[in-house]
Amino acid sequence: MIGSDAFWIVLTGALVAVASGLLGSFLLLRRMALIGDAISHAVLPGIVLAFLFSGNLHSLPTVLGAAAVGLLSTIGIEALHRRGGLPGDASMGLVFTFLFAVGVIGVSSLGGNADLDQECVLYGELAFIGFEERLLGMPTSTTILLANLLLVLGVLGVGYRGLFLTTFDAGYAAAIGISTAFWHYLLMGLVSVTTVVSFEAVGAILVVAFLIGPAAIGHLLTDKLPWLLTWAAVSGVFASLGGYALAALLDANVAGAMTAVLGFEFLLAFLFGPYGWSTWRRRRPQTGLEKLRPLGAPVKP
């Protein structure tokens, strides 16, 4: 029988992992995995402001305010790229490091605030989730993350067709009158909100692992979007369970342990998955050139 603390930790971790895993699947398919990385760093100044004004991230306006900074960062990256003439990857690196630096300066300046310190920024603190004030019978962070997951599921459920089409065939989607920009910014907005509400649990950096990891695992296991989403969610839940066990064993940070387990799951999928290392070379389209005999090579009998 696991204690109630353990239960809340695993549940909260799973809520983070499933919500980010679902969103990450779309990011991965849209070749935007690193945008998730950038957003998760860029929300830090927003989070610092939220703490400055209300001391926590437990109200809707603070969450939305902090998430808005993440959304703005994607617009900034776009602007540096298109107007400033920087390559896309460099403009991403420039914007998110700048915002993160501003955030760290903010954290240092806040100083005395016990709820927001540098460690929290890097890896959050899941271990004490059980001590949080209750909201609707659950620790506050857990309730908020559950609400976030429901929001993500709701949007994905209602907008599945739009997201599907704009992801796989943006040209066709645009031709039949679906706004690619709308779905793009909706996805960016959801990623920003999820990053912000996951912040206290896993910090600003490890959330990247949950955005990309489960999606990458699913990507190695299936070709179908519904199954990709399912595998992403399942591997996220397992990472939460396994991560808790590992962290309890070593008496170490839970979020870090979950990430390590995700890495291990990915390794398994990479080694044995149907689209992983073992089969990739065989699947690659044959050009016919492989069969050509080099000039002067002896003809095999």
Partner 1 sequence: MPQWLHLDDPNLWLVLAGTVLVGAASALVGVFAFLRRRALVGDAVAHSVLPGIALAFVVGQSRSLAVLLPGAFISGLLALWSIDAIARNSRIKPDAATGLVLSVFFGTGILLMTWIQRSQGAAQAGLDRFLFGQAAGILPTDLYLFAAVAAFLAVCIAIALKEFRLLSFDPEFARAIGMPFRSLEGLLAVLTVLAVVIGVQTVGVVLMAALLITPAAAARFWTDRLGTMLLLAAGIAAMGSMAGSMVSYAVPRQPTGPWIIVALSALALASMAFAPRRGWLAQRIRLAAYRRKIARENVLKAFWHAAEEQRPEVASVPGAGHPTSPVLSEAQLLERRAFVPRSLRRSMRKLARQGLLQAVQAQPDAVSAAGWQATPEGLRAGARLARIHRLWELYLTEKLRIAPDHVHDDAEAIEHLITPELEAELEAVLDHPERDPHGSAIPRPNGTGSRGKDRTEKPINPKAG
CB of 284 to partner 1, least distance (A): 10
Q: Which is nearer to partner 1, 101 or 158 (CB)?
A: 101
212 touches 36 (CB < 8 A): yes
- CA–CA gap between residue 232 and residue 254 (Å, rounded): 20
Q: Taking the complex as a whole, how short is the minimal distance between the CB of residue 30 and partner 1, in angstroms?
A: 11
Query: Taking the CB of residue 185, how many other CB atoms lie within 10 A of it?
Result: 15
Contacts of 298 (CB under 8 A, 6+ apart): none
The residue (of 139 and 276) whose beta carbon lies closer to partner 1 is: 276
Residue 214 C-beta: closest distance to partner 1, Å: 10
Nearer to partner 1, 139 or 213 (CB): 213
Site for partner 1, rule CB under 8 A? 28, 31, 33-34, 36-37, 41, 80, 83-87, 89-94, 97-98, 100-102, 104-105, 108-109, 111, 118, 122-123, 205-206, 208-209, 211-213, 215-216, 219-220, 246-247, 250-253, 255-260, 262-263, 266, 270, 273, 275-277, 280-281
The minimum distance between CB 172 and partner 1, in angstroms, equals 22
Alpha helices in the chain (DSSP H): 4-29, 33-42, 44-54, 60-82, 88-110, 118-123, 140-168, 170-175, 180-221, 225-250, 254-272, 277-283
**Contact, 254 vs 247, CB < 8 A?**
yes
Mutual angle of helices 140-168 and 4-29, in 10-degree steps:
20
**Least distance in angstroms from the C-beta of 102 to partner 1:** 7
Nearer to partner 1 (CB atom), residue 281 or residue 291: 281
